[in-house]
Structure 1
Amino acid sequence: MKLLSPIQYEYGNLKIGGGGFVTGITFHPTDSKTLYIRTDIGGIYRYDFDKSTWVYLADKVTADDPAQTYPLAIALVENDPNKLFFTCGDKRSNYICISDDKGENIIQKALPCSVHGNEVGRATGDRLIYKNGRLYFGSQTAGIIYSEDMGESWQSIDLFGEKNISLIWTDSEGKLFIAGCSGEANSPDGVTRGHTLYCSTDGLKSFVPLTAPDPVKYENSSYYGFVPQRITSDSRYIYITFASSGEVFYGGMGAYACDTGSLSGGKVYRYRIENGVTVFDKDITPKDHIPCGYSGICSNGKMLLLSTVCRKNGGDIIYTSTDSGESWKIIMNRLEYSRFDWNIPYMKPRYNGGGNCVHWISDIKLSPFDSDTALFNTGTGLFMITGLASGDVLVKPFCEGIEETVHLNVYTTPHGRNRIIDIIGDLGGFAFEDYDSECENSFANENGDRYITCLNADLTLSDPEYIVATPRGNWTGKTKGGLILSKDCGSTWERLPMPRGISEFIDQKLDNIEKPNVDSGWTAISADGKRIMWAVAGGRGFSNKAVCYTDDEGKTWQKSIFTDSSGNLADEHNVKIFSDYYNSDFFSP
């Protein structure tokens, strides 16, 4: 018997560009070539200044222990740019991670508390500090803890019983310490937050409340009260941003950042030091009457940068101030005030309802080494601002090497146009033809407006250019979820008519699908391409009582009937439908 030679495969990456939530930015204070970002599900990246790309530091993670892909906080050492600390976890495995070579090699040590870098509140900070030989961590579940032996053992610091910490900060000498929290432990009624900002001047032996905004009962808010989001300082002042939760769908009172997708209000407070004590100085909140939180804030001593977060009906704003917040100048609002370089195709305004895809700006950092440049995070990657000093402001994605997307399904065409169809959470999908470049936005309607989060697609071997997919409608409402069909291998799409009138149960699900960002279901197409089946979702799960099919591309629909082995109607259960690639009469649930 003659053995066939093994096929030599060459693997590479399909470039999306950004695509996920960058939750924090960390410049090294003294080394101009050390810069990190953390992400919610994609681990930590370090920027390679020589190669102008981001380097992924979680490439040794395994499926058995994915904790490093969920980082919550980063700390650096001022006099040692090679040292890196970060906390991470998925609640089952929780670590303090230590590296002596900028993340090339990482040692994990168990933390005594539950951590998750992709849970509500993940975008505030910073929560990890290395100062005078001690590591301090503001955890989500155990309050403030500290270690004097590089994470081998930990001790607790009581903050009036508060367990969910939003930020910790210390001055350059490590004498003044400020902590923010959710206010959950001291809530008077389970709806109004207790005090959320505290200060220590005695080496963390005791804390005293620091002036914070009084709770406001905003309309349609689930919880009342402001939680500290970010903190910065200069030689004169300390600045803290606050946000108040809007309608909270999950996470309870612990949902205090942009993770809820809805914030009702925000404040920016300025503090000063008097006789070694921190005192409230002034409310310097910009006069913006559209409800939003405030989060990202940074200072280089001459300039102050500030961002809104989850600003309703218009997108987030970036402000600058050269008088310590006495007055503010807008440098980015929608597509105004700045020039833009959309160097990643799917981020272009014409694919995003004619608007700016920037959202969830929870962190913004001025470069310590270039007063002209700053970085800010978004829910779809990292962005750079240049021209701050000159006033000719340019905003552009800064995502080379960042690939933090969730790939739900991938398909290849067996013949015809050689394409890879990539179905992606949040971003929808891409039909790649040039595997070396970012794909132009392809899962869009006739106006170029992008669909998001297709749970699946299906195609036939006989005609792989004929593809059906199940997307959600996007956040802007420019597209609506449902079932979409392409006859040109994913280049263009049409939305099929909805199967209304089949049953009240299905109609209710269809009503929900028409709302932004709601799962539309699961689809399958027969081998000959003549029958399309759809397990309608309208939210989580696919019910066998909401499966239907069409033989004329949605002009008419029929309801599928599920029976047990005895021919009786089956009880309701979750179901996905799959087609056979060769037998047109066979579908399998």
Structure 2
Amino acid sequence: MPPVLRAHRTRVLPALCGLIGGLLVGGPVASADDHAPVAAAVKAAPYDWKNVRVDGGGFVPGIVFNRSERHLAYARTDIGGAYRWQESSASWTPLLDSVGWDDWGHAGVVSLASDSVDPDRVYAAVGTYTNDWDPGNGAVLRSADRGATWRKADLPFKLGGNMPGRGMGERLAVDPHDNDVLYLGAPSGKGLWRSTDAGATWRQVTNFPNPGDFQQDPGDTSGYNSDKQGIVWVTFDESTGAGDGKTQTLYVGVADKANSVYRSTDGGGTWSRVGGQPTGLLAHKGVLDAENGYLYLAYSDRAGPYDGGKGQVWRYATRTGEWKNISPVAEADTSYGFSGLSVDRQHPGTVMVTGYSSWWPDTQIFRTRDSGANWTSAWSYSAYPTRQNRYTMDISSVPWLSWGAHPAPPEQSPKLGWMTESLEIDPFDSDRMMYGTGATVYGTENLTRWDAPGGTFTIRPMVKGLEETAVNDLAAPESGAPLLSALGDIGGFRHTDLTKVPERMYTSPTFSSTTSLDHAAARPSTVVRSGDADAAPHVAFSTDNGVTWSGGQEPSGVTGGGTVAAAADGSRFVWSPAGAGVHTAAGPGAAWTAAGGIPQGAVVESDRVDPKRFYGFKSGTFYASSDGGSTFTAKASTGLPAEGPVKFQAVPGRTGDIWLAGGKAGGTYGLWHSTNGGASFTRVAGVQEADTIGFGKAAPGASYQALYTSARIGGVRGVFRSTDAGASWVRVNDAGHQWGWTGGAITGDPNVYGRVYVGTNGRGIVQGDTAAR
């Protein structure tokens, strides 16, 4: 299973794993199974789905406004699909929730294009990795109804929505005069591609001279940082179109530090390098002001989105061929690269650009009103370390964006941002601007106050509806908060109201990613979590149901969070951290002692009734402890998966009742049940694959808890529920609600029958409830 690398810092999380596709209802990419009839043995139950609100949580590398229709805008994410702006509710509507398990890579969006001739048309270039982490090729999705439904054109190469350079672009563009013509810049040396039938079929532009050979790290044997960045943006000069003919002049940006800008003046028939261009840097963006005849370019020495140590901004006069360095800061004075480039279409001499890789003390945004002759910045030093800001920030709608931080000047909380590769001024409203960060979309409705002497404009999150967290673990305590989450990049949250954004993430300590959490079944006020962090501690405890936390001691050698479990009464804990063996502790904050009889790296869980019982699993062997985790014994149970990830849980209220899901495609893979503490397991018939298992309130009239799993049952991949201890199953999701990969976490609600919480890898936490139909 491939790692997932993204958001405001590098992290590693588990993730799973021709021609013209069919119509995709309610979203996009579906495999053949997505529209196959559900097997007769598997019934479907109607469900209503919505997100448990976090609002944001991941990197937004692209924002695209339509140039001919007011309020029509799209956002793309690196692993969480695409969204359309809904002006009436000031929120984003997800467009790719129908991406299925087998096509999970198509939830990564490397580029978007909105058609200015026919605003109903929108296109998305999808694919998450160009190396073997993603087994599938990329595709171009096309929609004639603004993303409500899609058709798919498969490509003969991979695309990298979550690869280095994903903030450059846009790689996909529609001809503003002949909107049946589109261009796509490919990575991996695959060159420039063109469609002449509105995205239905694609052919390589074989005479384009440069495929773009820049590699972030040529020595990376994984293929992640060593992939060739390729062709990174396409820009049409709309002033060169006539009548119904296609645009004659277009510019193409190439990831090549010596030859980064190419041009065609005959509608793509021939191509040549633009003479006189700067060298030594990569052109992240190329944005054209056709009215004044200027092509603006934002350069960095690296592909981003995390890095970039030097940068410049240049202006190319399309009518005279003059190149001019208009950098707001001299390259010698930068420690970052430039990106996030936008022209105010109402006042084309007004241009903005971001210092996308300025991490400390903050990102920087620059603005000129005279085509780059003079610049002002979003903030500056009045007297170091005191900052003078042209803006104020109101994060009341997403208060966790403070990160719980109280930094010393010149840092501030909340930050203006980081990884700010996308910034767009609304082409119809000079006062509206949006920009993406590693955690959210920020924006303003009074941008022109920037220009008033002593004036300040207000920045607020503009991210409602855009959910982009990757979920590692979920817990639904019997009392207290209805849901606790363990998330990548932003740690996790205690949700007291599922319809509202939490006040803050877990802090004291703050983990870069929380890898595991558990609560004591009989004492839900006791909670433990473990996670990845730059320094110790990697484990934390709460005695008030996750409201406040304290860090714990840890054994030597710990390098990451691993998995952690709480005894049923909260009296003990067992922890299997990365880098160290399994350990046990007698109470929150107590010293850890090594457990015997269980290997390092085992997954650990607790019995939900007997506080002395803990369980572990690794490489096909199940382990059990009856002395609070001090010693474990390998059980004689056989037939369990020896390869692939495994998740297991003990049933609340039943001692020794355990369900185990996992395995590897092509090997042992499925769902197993034990009623004797793991001494033996029985495989559940009819379940071909299963990746998660969780429990919720029993159905009316039933005595056994409802089961929930992300699985393949009866040949159908989906989210399933059983109310008879696994004897039969109903599918509770549908073709329009698949969310790519859902193998991270699942749990039912102990107090609401039918309610299930599904963890996704980039679309946040989805909540399902039985629908009255």
TM-score scaled by length of structure 2: 0.63
Q: Pick the aligned partner of 2:402 from 348, 351, 357.
A: 348
Match of 1:265 in 2: 310
Deviation string 1:173-225 (CA, Å, 9 cap, x unpaired) is 33332222222xxxxxxxxx55333333344312225444443xxxxxxxxxx
- Asked if 1:470 is matched to 2:535, the reply is no
Q: Pick the aligned partner of 1:550 from 562, 585, 607.
A: 585
5+ residue gaps in structure 1? 1-5, 184-192, 216-225, 246-255, 501-505, 514-518, 539-544, 564-569
Q: Pick the aligned partner of 2:518 from 435, 455, 458.
A: 458
Match of 1:383 in 2: 442
Distance in 1 of aligned mates of 2:608 and 2:276: 66
Contact 1:315 1:356 in 2 (8 A): no
Q: Pick the aligned partner of 2:209 from 159, 170, 175.
A: 159
Q: Structure 1 residue 58: deviation in Å?
A: 1.1
Match of 1:530 in 2: 571
Deviation string 1:99-145 (CA, Å, 9 cap, x unpaired) is 11111111111123211311111111011112123211001131111
Deviation string 1:313-342 (CA, Å, 9 cap, x unpaired) is 212111111121122111257883211110
Q: Pick the aligned partner of 2:90 from 52, 61, 69.
A: 52
When residues 212 and 326 of structure 1 are mapped into structure 2, their CA distance, relative to the original with a 3 A threshold, is same
* Matches for 1:390-539 after TM superposition, within 5 Å: 390-391=449-450, 392-415=456-479, 417-445=480-508, 450-473=510-533, 480-500=536-556, 506=557, 509=558, 513=559, 519-537=560-578
Q: Pick the aligned partner of 1:18 from 51, 56, 62.
A: 56
Match of 1:305 in 2: 352
When residues 574 and 129 of structure 1 are mapped into structure 2, their CA distance, relative to the original with a 3 A threshold, is same
Deviation string 1:260-300 (CA, Å, 9 cap, x unpaired) is x222111111111245xx44123424247341010011112
Match of 2:9 in 1: none
Distance in 2 of aligned mates of 1:46 and 1:130: 18
Tell me which amino acid in the other structure corresponds to 1:66: W
Distance in 2 of aligned mates of 1:422 and 1:451: 13
Equivalent position SS for 1:370: coil
Match of 2:226 in 1: none
Distance in 1 of aligned mates of 2:285 and 2:210: 21
Distance in 1 of aligned mates of 2:601 and 2:72: 49
Tell me which amino acid in the other structure corresponds to 2:193: I
Contact 2:541 2:589 in 1 (8 A): no
- Asked if 1:367 is matched to 2:421, the reply is no
Tell me which amino acid in the other structure corresponds to 1:196: S
Tell me which amino acid in the other structure corresponds to 2:568: A
5+ residue gaps in structure 2? 1-43, 129-133, 214-229, 241-246, 381-386, 451-455, 618-773
Tell me which amino acid in the other structure corresponds to 1:143: G
Contact 1:352 1:450 in 2 (8 A): no
- Asked if 1:338 is matched to 2:338, the reply is no
Distance in 2 of aligned mates of 1:350 and 1:292: 26
Match of 1:244 in 2: 301
- The structure showing larger relative contact order (alpha-carbon pairs under 8 Å, at least 6 residues apart) is 2
Distance in 1 of aligned mates of 2:495 and 2:591: 32
Of residues 232-241 and 397-406 in structure 1, the stretch that sits farther from structure 2 once superposed is 232-241
Equivalent position SS for 1:546: coil
When residues 427 and 145 of structure 1 are mapped into structure 2, their CA distance, relative to the original with a 3 A threshold, is same
Tell me which amino acid in the other structure corresponds to 2:297: I
Distance in 1 of aligned mates of 2:468 and 2:352: 26
Q: Pick the aligned partner of 1:207 from 246, 255, 272.
A: 272
Match of 1:220 in 2: none
When residues 44 and 386 of structure 1 are mapped into structure 2, their CA distance, relative to the original with a 3 A threshold, is same
Equivalent position SS for 2:101: coil
Match of 1:76 in 2: 114
Equivalent position SS for 1:65: helix
Equivalent position SS for 1:22: coil
- Asked if 1:575 is matched to 2:602, the reply is yes
Q: Structure 1 residue 30: deviation in Å?
A: 1.2
Alignment size in residue pairs: 514
When residues 9 and 124 of structure 1 are mapped into structure 2, their CA distance, relative to the original with a 3 A threshold, is closer
Tell me which amino acid in the other structure corresponds to 1:386: E
When residues 480 and 336 of structure 1 are mapped into structure 2, their CA distance, relative to the original with a 3 A threshold, is farther
- Asked if 1:286 is matched to 2:329, the reply is yes
Identity level (%): 23
Q: Pick the aligned partner of 2:376 from 329, 339, 344.
A: 329
Equivalent position SS for 1:454: strand
Tell me which amino acid in the other structure corresponds to 2:414: N
When residues 493 and 18 of structure 1 are mapped into structure 2, their CA distance, relative to the original with a 3 A threshold, is same
Tell me which amino acid in the other structure corresponds to 1:199: R
Deviation string 1:358-396 (CA, Å, 9 cap, x unpaired) is 111001111111111111111112111232223331111
Contact 1:373 1:388 in 2 (8 A): yes
Q: Structure 1 residue 51: deviation in Å?
A: 2.8
- Asked if 1:176 is matched to 2:219, the reply is no
Cα root mean square deviation, aligned: 2.5
- Asked if 1:111 is matched to 2:143, the reply is no
